[in-house]
Amino acid sequence: MKKLGARDFPVKRESLERLNVNGDADEAQDEQACRCIACMLAIAAATVLIAAAIWIGSTAVINRGRLARKEAGEGSSGYELEVAREGSEPEQITVNVSEQRYEGEELERFFGEAFKKLEKAVLNGNASAEEVCERLDFVDTIEGTRIKVTWPDIDSTYFYSSGAIVYEAVTEPVIVSLTARLEYYDEVRIYSFPVRLVGKLEDAGAAFSRKLNELLAREDKDSADSPWFNLPTAVEGEGIDWSEKEEKKCLWVFLLGFGAITAVIPAMRSDIAGKERKREQEMMRDYPDIVTKFVLLVTAGMTCRAAWEKICGDYLNGKGRKRYAYEEMLRSARELRFGASEAKVYEDFGKRCGIAAYRKLGVLLANNLKRGSRDLTGVLEQEAAEAVEGRIAEVRRQAGEAGTKLLLPMFGMLCLVFAIVMVPAFSSFGG
């Protein structure tokens, strides 16, 4: 990245210089760059592994033009497949394959409805029995029970065996009576109800779907005792091709992984920006103390340099946690011991801090050396007073913000108190 000229990758060098007062900014930037690249590589590796696991775990459901059928008692299966006619785009279709059935007396039925839900199941999504315009579902079981349903008197004039309506015969609305035979062990019930058929024209696509569904239903019935379900290869002489519906899970995983990688650098920059804000807040809290100490020492007769050294020494002897303002002063003190110009050191101190108050302090001290200002003590006393007032105003502002944040919890507690008091009172009135 350095060879490519990316000087501020992944974060700005100036930010690291401010946060690493006595450290090596180049080393800190290299560390941040390594963390960023390592995070990106980790996300990329995880993305590839997850996508590979999904791809390996996805098994084919079509085996030599057949679909596997579940054993008896395991329930029916639903397959999302794509069917393509010659010279047309693939169409998505759901193929429902029922479970294997026992032969003869061992035949059992699962998944049903209660008796009152039969009519709703037969309507198969139609608005009501008064207006039937879509295919009916002549169910052979009632979900949740062992009931076997048969339809002995389906009028072939108006219905195909699959339940689709013969729209050619419905030239005007007609009422047709449906009779269902319900068998539950030795118990038999006959249930009849009328439906009103409404004519509807089929387009080419609907006709193809109806014919295909008839073939699928017929195959499901004919191969009920077989472990395989054979998919039809043609519909009325028109060849069709079957393929599994493409899953886009791997694509989504790659997209999410790419999004996570692109978010690494903004996240790191946001983290550095947060640290810079905390640094500025901390330095502003320390500014009144630093200026006040400086005024006291200069008033006592110390030179600016001696007062600077004294404040730095007290900070080192205090053995507290590191604070940015004092660390910057220590850096300036080392520069003074190495022979740097005192005025330039004070000016550089203000520039490195990057805060208006510290820049002003650096300029005041530098001007005192350059111009020999006699009223430095008065100027510093005024600066100290302003700093203290600014600190008090900041504390008041933070207190106001804290009070505002506490309003919502306090309102919640007030509602809770009202509930504790009022609920028993209303309960006693009711008693």
Residues 174 and 129 in one domain: yes
In a domain, 272, yes or no: no
Let me know whether 352 and 209 are in one domain.
no
Residue 272 is inside which H or E element, if any?
A: helix 264-299
User: What is the per-residue pLDDT for 22?
Assistant: 64
Residue that terminates a domain, selected from 262, 296, 318: 262
Answer yes or no: is 411 within a domain.
no
Question: 237 and 255 share a domain?
Answer: no
The pairs formed by 362-371 with CB atoms below 8 angstroms and a separation of 24 or more are 365/304, 368/304, 369/304, 369/342, 369/343, 370/343
Same-domain status, 173 and 225: yes
Residue whose C-alpha is closest to residue 276's, from 49, 92, 31, 14:
14
Task: Check whether residue 18 and residue 150 sit in a common domain.
Answer: no
pLDDT tens digits, one per residue of 187-198: 677 878 888 888
Q: Using an 8 Å Cβ cutoff, are 192 and 151 in contact? A: no
pLDDT, position 200 = 67
Whether 112 and 17 map to the same domain: the answer is no
Determine, yes or no, domain membership for 350. Answer: yes
Question: Is 184 domain-assigned?
Answer: yes
36 lies in the same domain as 113 = no
Q: Is residue 420 part of a domain?
A: no
Structure-token pair, residue 141: 């079981």
Q: What are 315-352's pLDDT values in tens digits?
A: 888 877 888 898 999 999 999 999 888 889 989 998 98
Q: Which one of 217, 236, 262 terminates a domain?
A: 262
Q: Which two tokens stand for residue 46?
A: 């995880």
Model's pTM, two decimal places? Answer: 0.47
**What DSSP assignment string belongs to 304-348?**
HHHHHHHHHHHHHHHT----HHHHHHHHHHHHHHTT--HHHHHHH
Confidence of residue 101 (pLDDT cuts 50, 70, 90): low
Contact criterion met (CB below 8 Å) for 68 and 76? no
| Residue that finishes a domain, picked among 262, 290, 306 | 262
43, 127: one domain: no
Is residue 379 included in any domain, yes or no?
yes
Per the structure, how many domains does the chain have? 3
Q: Is 206 a domain residue? A: yes
Q: Is 226 in the same domain as 255?
A: no
Same domain, 257 and 214: no
Determine the structural domain holding residue 239 and report its residue range.
66-246
Shared domain check, 199 and 129: yes
Same domain, residue pair 109 and 224:
yes
